[in-house]
Structure 1
Amino acid sequence: MFRVCVGYPNLGNTCFMNSVLQCMSNCPPITKYFLEDQHLSELNSTNPLGMKGYVAKAFGELIKTMWSGDNSHTAPSNLKIQVSRFAPEFSGYQQHDAQELLTFLLDGLHEDLNRVKKKPYIELKDADGRPDEVVSKESWDNYLKRNNSVIVDYFHGLLKSHVTCPQCECVSTTFDPFCYLSLPLPPKKNSYIQIKYIPYDQSKREVIYKLCVARHSLIRDICVDLITLAKLDVNINQLVVAKVAKSHIHCFFSMSDTLDDISDRDGMLHVYDLPVSHDNKEFTVIPVCTWEVSDGDSTFCKNELIDDPILVAFPLGELTYGEIFQTIIGQMSRHFNIPKNDSMSEYNFSHVSEYVSIYQVSVNLSTHEKLSPDDTYTLNGKDKLLAIQIETSTKKEYHKEVIPMRQDATEQRCRLKHSLDECLDLFVTNEKLGSDDAWYCPRCKEFQQATKKFDLWSVPKVLIIHLKRFHYSRYRRDKIETLVEFPVHDLDISKIVINKSEQLKKYDLVGVCNHYGTLGGGHYTAYAKNNIDKNWYLFDDSSVRKVIESEVVSNCAYVLMYIQKED
């Protein structure tokens, strides 16, 4: 009498391995193979590409212990040791990617159980215009001459790869085995973003807007949306977009930058409006920070910066210290309640100049130089910014705590889900290779950014689908949390299989590997269907509980395991 379900204790960040093993152990043909000790007669301990049979034996022992009915949980310690022995990247107790472990495990089991003891040399031939049926059969037969195992029997299919040179239109067609499909997720069409709008007019309040914008929008597009949706009376050529960190402008974004160039860690964007346009040759725009010190002799320290920096437009040419002072203090009036003189046209310079100093500071905040009230200055914002130094006593007397308004200016909601069919369609869509992944054209004799297309030719009995939730670009590394709706029963992939002679069957889901959390860390669990009582279970390390079928589909699904329906 087999036990219905057994959990795996976490050996230290091994939830990624536990989730993979639960999916594999609930795959009926694999479980049957190892329970019947078929692997012992097929061990290939001499395969130089294998693990001397140790991984297959450890996996077999784990399956037999798990399904013996004697344990409510069992530790996969020996398998962990053998995996770490032959794949040092999985040694230790760091978190790893479950899909990468599954790939290693399938390959390791295959090589440990490869029925081919001596692999022959195979010379690959180009398609050279021959029919797909001929080339595909030749490719598969050649593959089986070197690779023949229970893993190939159940997990391997055949992909057709079609590469076209954009210059000479040379076409290269190959057929390659696969043991899982790595599906891209449709890109986000929309994304939420927070923008802190800082008006130049000090009588107007700062406002934090929440916008829903196109995922790959230009900064210019975001500014246009901001003006339209927030009904701002400003010109786009007078807007400046910046990243502010620790009361200092870390960088500016050009109007041609995209939202992809901005990391999620950057938080909200700061959008400043100016009284002059970007191309005005009569003014220079300089960032001004506020620097609080306990006494006037303090060495400049960026950790003493307070409030958001401001942008100030100064006329070109020589300026007196007083002119610079009056301009800056005027643009700080939203945060500082400094009284003006009786004329009401100027700020009380004599009253506060004793406690306020102006410094020129390098843009990396490494050097600073105090401005003298007796000199004149020609300001240049290319490599210098200004810092207003105020003493703590002055801050207590004049500083105002400003809380920005918050407005939701979104007009639409981001789409919250996609279907597995959309991901499959995207997988077989033409793709232009990037410059870092260029293809060498045998006719042009040089690397080209060719067009590549995948098609499914033959499909395996057990279909593993990896949803590419982790997104990497030059500027961003994040996780796509979008819900992908996938069928639990009767998955039909016939529309993307181009081999019309293939005897296609529909698939039923038997396992799901889930990932919770972010790119830098998280937790793995698994849903698996027990082949004995036909119930679904949630495996969370050593914790196991029965679940209803509808729980299986969630936005945490990372790897799906399907098996062909029986006739």
Structure 2
Amino acid sequence: MAEQQVSWLDQNEKLLPLLEKPHLKGEEWYVIDHRWLKQWKDYIGANDVPGGQETNYPGTINNENIIDKTLDPLPDYGHFVLHNISENVNYSYVPKEVWTTLKNVYGYHQMHPIKREVVEMGDSQTPTIELHLIHVRLTRIEDRNNLDIAKDKYYSCKVTIDTVCQDTIKLFDCKGVKNYRIWSKYKKWTLLKGKYSLDQVGLKDGEILYLETTKSSSFDCQKQPDILAFQNGTEEEPMDYCEDQEMDNYDEMSVVSPCGLSNMGNTCFMNSALQCLVSVGTLTHYFVSNKWKQDLNKSNPLGMRGEVAKAYADLVKEMHSSAKQMHSVLPRQFKIAVSRFAPQFSGWAQHDSQELLAFLLDGLHEDLNRIKDKPYVETREADGRPEDKVARDSWKDYTKRNDSVVVDTFHGQLKSTLVCPKCSHVSVTFDPFCYLSLPLPQIRNRCITIILLGKSPISEPTELHVKVEKQGRILNLCESVAQAANDRLPKDSKERINHENLIVVEVHSGHISKIYNPGDAVSMIMDKDYIRVFELAAVERGVPRDKYKLIGVYERVPAANSYHKSFKTVGNPFVLAVPIEINYDTLLDMILVRMKRYIKHSDKIEKFEEVNKLNGESEDASEPFALRLVNMYGNAQVAEMTLKTPLKQNENVQYVALDWESDENRKFFLDPHEERYVKKEDAPANLRVKDLQLNDCLELFTSEEKLSESDPWYCPKCKKHQQATKKLDLWSLPDILVVHLKRFSYCRWWRDKIDSLVYFPTKDLNLKKYVLDPSIDEEDAIYDLLAVSNHFGGMGGGHYTAFSRRGTKWVNLDDSCVSRIAEESVVNRSAYVLFYERRNPKKRTLHCN
């Protein structure tokens, strides 16, 4: 299908609605690079951008940045996708109908598409696109000491163990088999039942499965086969049939012994949350001593039939036992239980530790709720009554329906005050909370790191740190850059920069993502963005803005191993200003002059023709490159350029590519160190943004705010919805206070992580001034840090770890790796969820019905 047969307007009208269709079991969806999809949406006018602009043409679909090149693609599945990347940040899904049209219109760079199927996950049978297959290694039980012959296979999570057994029989050409079964081994042998699917047995990524066959009609299911009794002369640990081991003599302080958790494949988020929760000694004692069994509530319709509580109890007891033996634990059964009731955590994609923690605390509460029949309770308002009485009554009402170890340990009470802007009616209510989600204050100024490329074609790029107002404009950034650059020069220097001659450009992976206008907001620049600032050449000084246009210039070389002939970008693109009316030769001369900083022998030559002479070639030797008009990303050709090709006068920005005939030519002409710039240095102290204090976040949390138009409050006096003012205050605090720092910001156009350092005390956190309950003494408001869930990296991936205080020492829990860490290292800019323990806990009885 040719492009002209499906116009950008038709694509907008016919394809965009299909992106919002629901996922249905068995459907095929395709994975596509998110940046390409966003560029395509710009091109068809879907993001409040005029459609059909050539500079927004997305070019050939290219999934190079999201595929795992270490694995060969599979038939009917396509390429594997990298782990630790995020949906709507690195990749997106499109339905089959959309993919077929996009591929026909724009072409596809790779040979194999990334096709995925919708499967139903969890007990709720939630339709979910299965992004990652499960990797297993198959072998026979008799070959367990020679794992080099094991076969790698990749399966959907819905494939049954029986299917895996049959595949293994075929792979190893087993003869005369009448019966078979398959085992897994992680410190102990586990028999996997054939009727279960892979997601139900919770395999670890890359796990080895051992096929056992017999020529008899059956196995003795209660015993391990004799062949498993000894391995290398050592008796194996017997099968565990989940017999309960009472631990009534459990010592609460034994929680000091840390135990690692194995990563099953992107499950570091889960491990981090679990390690923090296990650090709570009273809760761990409750589970290890089996007190939880007396509270188990399997009939609670809001619960999970007690299965999440049981899985957590089994895991905690296994961690307690393994810690003494210096072993890590594989949280297989726990992940299975969580995935059944929360399908969003199934599979092997990265998730959020705080979201997992919120689900787990709620699930444990409902599974262990001592209230079997919940009465109906109405919300109480103050209505002029004393606040302490209203608060007590509200808490009594809450505990009539909610009474569990989670409530005993983690739940506190908030006071909520709403004031109507019309009638001044005041509504005061008291609500329970399980954790505090604290916003991070907006800092007025920010420090931005940029690379400045001066007008001189032989000057090296220079890194600068500049401070600008967060609410400022790109014009203000240019002023700061010019000032920082000029401060390094003598006052009478002719090289001083005029901020009006600066162009701010965002470059991502060697592609121009955006050329900013002077009036654009500085907030559009993320901390992780690679920003280059170009100074316009001297010939452009004094020329009115309406008399020249901007040209983005790429270098490209032939792409190796491409399915069809194409070019790939190399080096970093640059931007220059040219007269609106310009011919081919003049444009080429301006580009070559600008590239002098990269050309070898730049002090001896003016044009590439002279290099040909130095190389012994004739004057009329063919050019080693060609100029072509391309799209904004430089990955798609718009038109050939010839001596007669005029640039379009009605477009403010155009993009051209200097395409080298071979990479060897480029290496001959250009300096291999073209990417160099002045050595990176930390921002000076006077430019660094002030770090935050945890108290700053608490002050913001308890400050008054006006409700948005989309979230009004119904005033019972006015009888209508109003944009009321709302204020939250702490009324009472739990023994374990969980604090969630809201580091991830979301808006219509982007998602980003706030990496500001928030100083939080490891000892003596005094919350007395924030607590309104007059009965709370100061000693009841002193907390010490117990654990931290850390997130390292940005939105597009990252890694979770945990810090935990065991006794008086701190340990770093990085999946299965456990190590000591100094207390002063606990406070870091990756801290995400904080666990605080009240120094003098209230004497709450963990009673049973």
Regarding TM over 0.5, the answer is: yes
Preserved contact between residue 740 and residue 832 of structure 2 (Cα < 8 Å):
yes
d(CA) in 2 for partners of 1:528, 1:491: 16
Please give the per-residue CA displacement for 1:346-387, whole angstroms capped at 9, x wherever unaligned.
Answer: xxxx96796265544454654443445467766343364344
Q: 1:98 to 1:507 in 2, by over 3 A?
A: farther
d(CA) in 2 for partners of 1:360, 1:498: 67
Preserved contact between residue 464 and residue 484 of structure 2 (Cα < 8 Å):
no
- Given candidates 439, 464, 469, the residue that maps to 2:712 is 439
Q: Which deviates the most, 380-389 or 514-523? A: 380-389
User: What TM-score, normalized to structure 2?
Assistant: 0.56
d(CA) in 2 for partners of 1:137, 1:278: 74
1:518, distance to aligned residue in structure 2 (A): 1.2
Written as runs of structure 1 = structure 2, the 5 A alignment for 1:38-53 is 38-53=291-306
Residue in structure 2 matched with residue 428 of structure 1 by the alignment: 702
Q: Does 1:514 align with 2:766?
A: no
Cα root mean square deviation, aligned: 4.0
Q: 1:130 to 1:224 in 2, by over 3 A?
A: farther
3-state secondary structure, aligned to 1:23: helix
Residue in structure 2 matched with residue 243 of structure 1 by the alignment: 506
Written as runs of structure 1 = structure 2, the 5 A alignment for 1:23-102 is 23-67=276-320, 71-73=325-327, 74-102=329-357
3-state secondary structure, aligned to 2:765: coil
Written as runs of structure 1 = structure 2, the 5 A alignment for 1:69-148 is 71-73=325-327, 74-128=329-383, 130-148=385-403
d(CA) in 2 for partners of 1:372, 1:535: 72
- Given candidates 785, 800, 805, the residue that maps to 1:528 is 805
| Alignment gaps of 5+ in structure 1 | 341-349
1:65, distance to aligned residue in structure 2 (A): 4.9
Q: Does 1:284 align with 2:524?
A: no
Preserved contact between residue 287 and residue 316 of structure 2 (Cα < 8 Å):
yes
1:500, distance to aligned residue in structure 2 (A): 2.2
1:7, distance to aligned residue in structure 2 (A): 1.1
Preserved contact between residue 242 and residue 270 of structure 1 (Cα < 8 Å):
yes
Preserved contact between residue 262 and residue 475 of structure 1 (Cα < 8 Å):
no
Preserved contact between residue 52 and residue 112 of structure 1 (Cα < 8 Å):
yes
Residue in structure 1 matched with residue 652 of structure 2 by the alignment: 382
3-state secondary structure, aligned to 1:122: coil
- Given candidates 765, 769, 779, the residue that maps to 1:495 is 769
1:109, distance to aligned residue in structure 2 (A): 1.7
Residue in structure 2 matched with residue 346 of structure 1 by the alignment: none
Written as runs of structure 1 = structure 2, the 5 A alignment for 1:174-189 is 174-187=429-442
1:152, distance to aligned residue in structure 2 (A): 1.4
Residue in structure 2 matched with residue 253 of structure 1 by the alignment: 516
Q: Which deviates the most, 271-280 or 257-266? A: 271-280
Preserved contact between residue 300 and residue 368 of structure 1 (Cα < 8 Å):
no
User: What TM-score, normalized to structure 1?
Assistant: 0.81
Q: Which amino acid aligns with 1:42?
A: D
Preserved contact between residue 215 and residue 260 of structure 1 (Cα < 8 Å):
no
- Given candidates 632, 636, 639, the residue that maps to 1:369 is 639
3-state secondary structure, aligned to 2:545: coil
Indicate the percent of aligned positions where both proteins have the same amino acid: 36
Please give the per-residue CA displacement for 1:435-472, whole angstroms capped at 9, x wherever unaligned.
Answer: 6x532454484574x54322101111221222333344
3-state secondary structure, aligned to 2:504: strand
Residue in structure 2 matched with residue 5 of structure 1 by the alignment: 257
Higher strand share: 1
Q: Does 1:467 align with 2:741?
A: yes
1:303, distance to aligned residue in structure 2 (A): 1.4
d(CA) in 2 for partners of 1:332, 1:269: 16
Please give the per-residue CA displacement for 1:506-526, whole angstroms capped at 9, x wherever unaligned.
Answer: 334362133252131213233
1:551, distance to aligned residue in structure 2 (A): 4.9
- Given candidates 568, 576, 587, the residue that maps to 1:303 is 568
Please give the per-residue CA displacement for 1:196-222, whole angstroms capped at 9, x wherever unaligned.
Answer: 3233454x6243222142472532222
Please give the per-residue CA displacement for 1:21-79, whole angstroms capped at 9, x wherever unaligned.
Answer: 34333423323433444322222221100122222333334445555697544554433
Residue in structure 2 matched with residue 208 of structure 1 by the alignment: 462
Written as runs of structure 1 = structure 2, the 5 A alignment for 1:395-414 is 399=670, 405-406=677-678, 410-411=683-684, 412-414=686-688
Residue in structure 2 matched with residue 149 of structure 1 by the alignment: 404
1:496, distance to aligned residue in structure 2 (A): 0.8
Q: 1:41 to 1:244 in 2, by over 3 A?
A: closer
Please give the per-residue CA displacement for 1:103-143, whole angstroms capped at 9, x wherever unaligned.
Answer: 22221121122122111223335555555334433432321
3-state secondary structure, aligned to 1:161: strand
Q: Does 1:455 align with 2:729?
A: yes
- Given candidates 419, 423, 429, the residue that maps to 2:693 is 419
| Alignment gaps of 5+ in structure 2 | 1-248, 487-494, 608-617, 842-849
* Structure possessing the higher relative contact order (Cα contacts under 8 Å, 6 or more residues apart): 1
